[in-house]
Structure 1
Amino acid sequence: MTPRSFVNGRAGDAIDARDRGLLYGDGLFETVLFVDGAAPLWLRHRARLESDAARLALPLPDVDAVFATAREACRGIARAAVRITLTRGVGERGYAPPAAPEPVWVVTATPAPTVPPDWYVHGIRVRCCGLRLATQPRLAGIKHLNRLEHVLARAEWNDPAVAEGLLGDAHGNAIGATAANLFVVRDGRLLTPALDECGVAGVTRADLLEGRDVGVVRLTWDEVMRADEVFLTSSLRGILPVNRIDDRAFAPGPVARALQAHWRERGLMEPAHG
């Protein structure tokens, strides 16, 4: 179906060619799963939007109005992927932010991507990307509009059998995937990479960190390859076990299975999956 788009709350898809989001990637975005008009992880998306906007000194619009527009955009779509994009708006030519920015927000809704059921049951094959993420603590964790590193990483393969690519930093640490966060289980403990220097801190990752004993650590590639379980998380796909990284085979394990069951109970994964 044709995406439904709204700009500043009004139906349409026209953006000023001078918008700083277009010119410089000066903005943020969230991709929110709506199920029958409800967004189970909305409070986490909202918290990240508010936190990231504050870190970028980016004024926020009325977030309640944004949410209402998102619900309108996905009306009639049982499982919708709603992208909320926020930019600093139009300014004078050059990098200097405008003194009194007028932010622009865009909401676009499409059906959520269909995930093959066997991905949840048997896991997915992933590869290690050659691209290394740059270290920039000022932007670490933020879901900002400049995603060129991820674009270049995703361009490294076109094999349909490979579902994702893993990304690391220049220091030899694993960070995540092109569109997901990374978790491993080693010696019975759940671990995820620290994202204080680069990477995107996903809302599903944040949900798993709350109330659980999860180690947030520097995770080397060797430690990933020696893990008992490896799985990826994202708001649209939920919990995806990894069954192969390059030539190393893994098996979906009990931790990923338990988290998948929890995710289904909350309506965040379709009941037929798994």
Structure 2
Amino acid sequence: MPSWVDGRPAESLSIKDRGLAYGDGVFETIAVRAGRPPLLEYHMARLSTGCARLGIALDVALVRTEILSFASKLGEGVAKLILTRGDGLRGYAPPPTTQARRILQGSPMPAYPSVNAEQGVELYPCATRLAEQPLLAGLKHLNRLEQVMARAEWQSTEYAEGLVRDISGRVIEGVFSNLFLLVDGVLVTAELSRCGVAGVMRAALLERAKAVGIPVEIRDIEFDELLAAQEVFLCNSLYGVWPVRAMAGHHWSVGPLTRTLQAIARDLLDN
């Protein structure tokens, strides 16, 4: 599979890169279908937000052009864009002048079991908690140690994903997905101003749900409210929507709203 560094084919990276040393950067995991990235504008919006908050210079036009060219060559699969602050010397202080580094890696699309989408998945209730850091909340920054630790908690294939909460016990997201609930006819997803990742499929589904008149709330979610929800589902930009059918002995039905949004997600990825 192809890999590029700063727009050119490459298989190596400078050991001075601050992304390696400090996680100083952001990334996007981009689905590629028929040589094109269907959710590109959502990825670019999140990338712009992340770079602006971290103070990393972003040439939006250049990055968009490179992603489109890379996707065309990849054809089908996943394009992972990593954008770091670039090279630096030892020490946390960013160099006064840096050249942001653009890394693109291609890989096959994950072979998720079809039963995940058709019948739903079981969640593992992770003990790992997300720390609150409003400056980084919502961003897809390069420090993913909390997710690494959460994912290491289970090995069994009976769990397709894990539920992650914050240090106060509020429901936030999956390890690599965002979470939605149906509560008394309202589509609810977690407020991500303290921690968590604002997924691009989450953004797209919120936009489409509002457009078709589905009531939506973005707010704190307590654990008991999750258990009492009428429907629960996960989403991300690679697989679309997975219904959640069980967690720790609790069960949910796969309902009509989940199926509606699953179809919308499928359409977003196919067109």
Which category of TM-score, normalised to the shorter sequence, fits these structures? over 0.9
Distance 2:195 2:153 in 1: 20
Give the equivalent residue in structure 2 for 1:258.
260
Residue pairs, 1:53-132, within 5 angstroms? 53-60=51-58, 62-75=59-72, 77-132=74-129
Higher mean C-alpha displacement, 30-39 vs 173-182? 30-39
Could you tell me which of 222, 226, 248 is aligned with 1:246? Answer: 248
Residues 32 and 82, structure 1, Cα contact 8 Å, conserved in 2: yes
Write the deviation string for residues 59-87 of structure 1: whole angstroms up to 9, x where unpaired.
11x33333333344344655321100000
Write the deviation string for residues 71-119 of structure 1: whole angstroms up to 9, x where unpaired.
4434465532110000001112100011111111100111211221111
Using a 3 Å threshold, how does the CA distance of structure 1 residues 9 and 88 change in structure 2: closer, same or farther? same
Residue pairs, 1:169-184, within 5 angstroms? 169-184=166-181
Structure 1 stretches of 4+ moved >6 Å: none
Distance 2:75 2:112 in 1: 15
Higher mean C-alpha displacement, 70-79 vs 15-24? 70-79
Distance 2:236 2:216 in 1: 17
Using a 3 Å threshold, how does the CA distance of structure 1 residues 50 and 198 change in structure 2: closer, same or farther? same
Could you tell me which of 146, 149, 153 is aligned with 1:152? Answer: 149
Give the equivalent residue in structure 1 for 2:159.
162
Distance 2:87 2:80 in 1: 20
TM-score (structure 2 length as normaliser): 0.94
Letter of the 1:263 partner, please give it. A
Using a 3 Å threshold, how does the CA distance of structure 1 residues 90 and 78 change in structure 2: closer, same or farther? closer
Distance 1:204 1:76 in 2: 24
Equivalent pairs counted in the alignment come to 266
- C-alpha displacement of 1:161: 1.0
Distance 1:194 1:246 in 2: 24
Residues 36 and 72, structure 2, Cα contact 8 Å, conserved in 1: no
SS of match in other structure, 2:159 = coil
Unaligned runs of 5+ in 2: none
Q: Give RMSD over aligned pairs.
A: 1.5
Give the equivalent residue in structure 2 for 1:20.
18
Residues 70 and 109, structure 1, Cα contact 8 Å, conserved in 2: no
Write the deviation string for residues 146-191 of structure 1: whole angstroms up to 9, x where unpaired.
0000000000000011100010011110000110001000111100
TM-score (structure 1 length as normaliser): 0.93
SS of match in other structure, 1:208 = helix
Distance 1:25 1:254 in 2: 41
Give the equivalent residue in structure 2 for 1:4.
2
